[in-house]
Chains A and B, each alone.
Chain A
Amino acid sequence: MRGHQGRNLWFLAFVAPFFIGLAIFVYVPIAWSAYLSFFDARNTVNPTRFVGFDNYRYLFNDRLFRDSLKVFVLFAVFIVPLTYVCSLGLALLLNNLKYGQAFFRSVFFIPMAVSYVIAAIVWRFVFFNGARFGMINSFIRSLGGDPVNWLGGGNNLYWVALISVRLWLQVGFYMILFIAGLNQIPRETYEAASIDGASGWRMLRFITLPQLRGASVAVIMLLFINAFQAFDEFYNMLGSIGSYPPYGRPPLVHLYLIAFGGGQQNLGVGGAGTMILTSIIVLFGLAQTWALGRGQEKPKKVRA
């Protein structure tokens, strides 16, 4: 039972703490949310009034909730490819540098250490301030233009602020992932290719990118999940005391507002929202693994 040299015991000793933490802080809350989502649970975690699928029905009838899913899709459509291309580009550029690699790596990675809240506030009050003395507006005015209302609604310019702040914050991290991926590619492959007369674009297209598939899958997955969980920069850039505009409202912000807004606690609706979002993200993940993993498995089978 203890296994050879107490192997099973050691296995338990190493795995148990992590597993117990995971169970208490992840699995139990998810299960509890699922339970709550079928009850009218206002201000209690031990509800008594069973309401079936009413909370789910409520959310799907809620135009703001449906809009928030669209906001997420729109956000993901911009931020995922943009971060992917920028971080891959930076990684390729830095990887070929002869000098100062460590310096530039740090320069691009440092924003990662800034909190989303702080960055959002800087973006909101300094760069994208809608008043005439906001940084960008001052510049526009010095060129003879009118101040632009960046975040106030009535236009779509708030996306510029939201996407640029996230890009700035996260691009360095994914760049590091790609650099790690690039370092995994054996030099011999490139040498062989250059002997065959391949260079530049063809090496990138036929060696680097295919070899980075593993890193790419991880990066895209993480980018999607992070975009899905977006809260801080939206909340701090667009929200005001007493109100959050109906536009630029991702799912988590909307759920927070209807479940906890105004000092109330509507945990039933909150739980139902959590379940919907969890299933969407699981489906996304499965679809992506399927789509990106397909091409990879075929050669393996041939080899086998």
Chain B
Amino acid sequence: MKLNRRTLLIGGGSLAAAATLAACGDNNPIGADPTTDGGATTPATDPTNGGATETADAPGGDVTLQQWYHEYGEAGVKEAVERYAAEYPDATVEVKWTPGDYAQILAAQLLTDDVPDVFEVEQGGSLDMIRAGQLEPLNDILDPVLADFNPSVIDRFMFEGKIYGVPQTVDMQLLYYRPSLLEAAGVEPPTTFEELVTAANAVKTADMGGFYAGNDGGVGVLGTMFIWASGHEQLNDDRTAAAFLTDDFYNALIAYREFSESGGVVQAASGEWYSPEAFINEEAAFQWGGLWSLPEIKEAFGDDVGVVPFPAIGPKGRPAVPFGAFGACVAAKGKNVEAAKQFVKWLWIDQEDKQVDFSDAYGTHVPAKPGLVPQATKLADGAGADAAKYVAENGFTNDIMWSGALGEAFGAAVSNVVKNGADPKAEFAGFEELAATELANLKG
């Protein structure tokens, strides 16, 4: 199961480890000692540097950097990142590929004295890591080129004026549909939630349902979409309170509940939202899914595939797509901070052919620099090109202070409203206070 990649799209309040736990049954990722490397570490000695000329042309050649990645699901990624590391002229870079619960293993390792020099972190660093001073600010290498990167991603990576990670590549979710089915039913691709309801109910048949977003009826993955698509943000500007507890948001939840009750939402299917089976097996005419599923869907339906963002919902609504991005970070406690920074700059800022290769050659991801999108073959036209445009214009992701506790309380309230018919206002009554307390705690 190629699940690891998909954990990207998960922010606070989620099971970051679900994929790996569900797939591998890894019992105790925290207890596993990541320092016992042995065969796991792959020394990538520089081919141009080997031999007699080593001392002459490599001023930093005696520096050895350790770089950590989580386990990517797609074939070839491991070899690719080892190749990138081997091609770096100024230091020896050892790549450590980390299967299992990467976030937990990394967090544990960063508490020790033996930290990796360079490592990837979801959304360019967690609040915990930044607060603990584990991450080196990368403003000096990033500030001059900030405009080259996807603005939504940079916004999310920047925290109190500092940025700690260079975006590597971007993943996103979107709504798949079949243009031919819509045409036959005489409906347009939806731009508002009302149109989605109409279209889903128009195209569904006895065998094919309307809209599908997971075996939980969609409440898990769509939860925060109701915030963004109804025109809100999760938190206010100074991150002291929840910023979405309005009637517009409550009405968005009620609209989705009515959509579910009308029978337009498929409640269970052969695959989860993050895999394309339900759509390919024609169990639903619309499916909320990941961009990573695009190649499989194209293989099944050819050009008869369209994508739209989650449609605007309510009077202040706007279309929205969630994104996730790993950022390359440098350990502040590392032995060679400057050399590590230079390596990150070289790989994720300067070497654009490698950045395109990383995004495009193994799976389907959006390059972190919009300027490189035309070079990504899978995003050249059709649905892929639309997707790349949405993530730059309508991209949202969980706030850095949207913690696990907030996410759990929010998800439970959404689920109770949609599934059990609870009144949204009553259901979210306690959330405002909880958010204020939790945010005050997070501020420290």
The interface of chain A, by Cβ under 8 A from chain B, is 40, 42-45, 49, 58, 61-64, 115, 117-118, 121, 129-131, 133-134, 147, 149-154, 235-236, 239-247, 254, 257-266, 269
With A153-B419, A261-B15 as given contacts, are A266 and B404 in contact (CB-CB < 8 Å)? yes
B-chain residues with CB within 8 Å of residue A266 when the two chains form the complex = 403-405
Give Cα A98–Cα B9 distance, bound, in whole angstroms. 60
Query: B404's contact among A131, A241, A260, by CB below 8 Å, is which?
Result: A260
> Are B403 and A262 touching (Cβ within 8 A)?
yes
In the assembly, what is the distance between CA of A259 and CA of B126, in Å? 14
Whether B25 contacts A115 by the Cβ 8 Å rule is yes
List the one stretch of B217-225, B248-256, B304-312, B382-390 in contact with chain A.
Answer: B217-225
User: Pick the contact of A242 from B9, B107, B441 — CB < 8 Å?
Assistant: B9
**Seed contacts A130-B267, A266-B403; 19 additional CB < 8 Å A-B pairs:** A40-B444, A42-B131, A43-B126, A61-B434, A64-B408, A64-B409, A129-B270, A130-B215, A130-B268, A131-B270, A133-B270, A154-B217, A244-B408, A245-B216, A245-B411, A262-B13, A262-B403, A264-B127, A269-B405
**Least CB separation from B132: chain A residue:** A43
The secondary-structure label for the interface of chain A is loop
Size of the B side of the interface (Cβ < 8 Å), in residues, is: 62
- A126 → chain B, closest Cβ, in Å? 12
Report Cα–Cα, A186/B21, bound state, in Å: 48
**A260-B17 in contact given A131-B283, A152-B267, A152-B268 (Cβ < 8 Å):** yes
Complex Cα–Cα for A62 and B268 (A): 30
Interface centre among A49, A118, A129, A261 (most CB of B within 10 A): A261
Q: List 21 A-B contacts (CB under 8 A).
A: A43-B131, A43-B132, A61-B434, A129-B268, A151-B215, A151-B268, A153-B415, A154-B267, A235-B18, A236-B22, A240-B15, A242-B14, A242-B15, A243-B216, A243-B223, A243-B411, A246-B412, A258-B408, A259-B404, A260-B104, A262-B407
Q: Which residues in A have their C-beta under 8 angstroms from that of B60? A: none
In the assembled complex, B269 has its CB within 8 A of some CB on chain A: yes
| Inter-chain contact B404/A240, CB cutoff 8 Å | no
B192 to chain A, nearest CB (A): 25
Instruction: Establish whether residues B430 and A236, one from each chain, have CB atoms under 8 Å apart when the complex forms.
Output: no
B11 within 8 A of A: yes
Given the interface contacts A40-B444, A240-B214, A258-B405, does A265 sit within 8 Å of B128 by beta carbon?
A: yes
- The answer on a CB contact under 8 Å between B272 and A240 is yes
B419 pairs with A118, CB closer than 8 A: no
A242 touches B408 (CB 8 A): no
User: What residues on B are CB-neighbors of A45 within 8 Å?
Assistant: 111
Given contacts A236-B21, A264-B404, contact A64 B111 (CB under 8 A): no
Q: Which residue of A lies closest to B437 (CB)?
A: A58
Q: Does B53 reach chain A (CB closer than 8 Å)?
A: no
- B129 pairs with A43, CB closer than 8 A: yes
**Which residue of the partner chain, among A43, A115, A121, A245, contacts B107 with CB atoms under 8 Å?**
A43
- Which residues of chain A are within 8 angstroms of B262 by Cβ–Cβ distance? none
Asked whether, in the complex, the Cβ of A241 is within 8 Å of the Cβ of B215, the reply is no
Whether B272 contacts A257 by the Cβ 8 Å rule is no
Among B216, B411, B419, the most chain A Cβ lie within 10 Å of the Cβ of B216
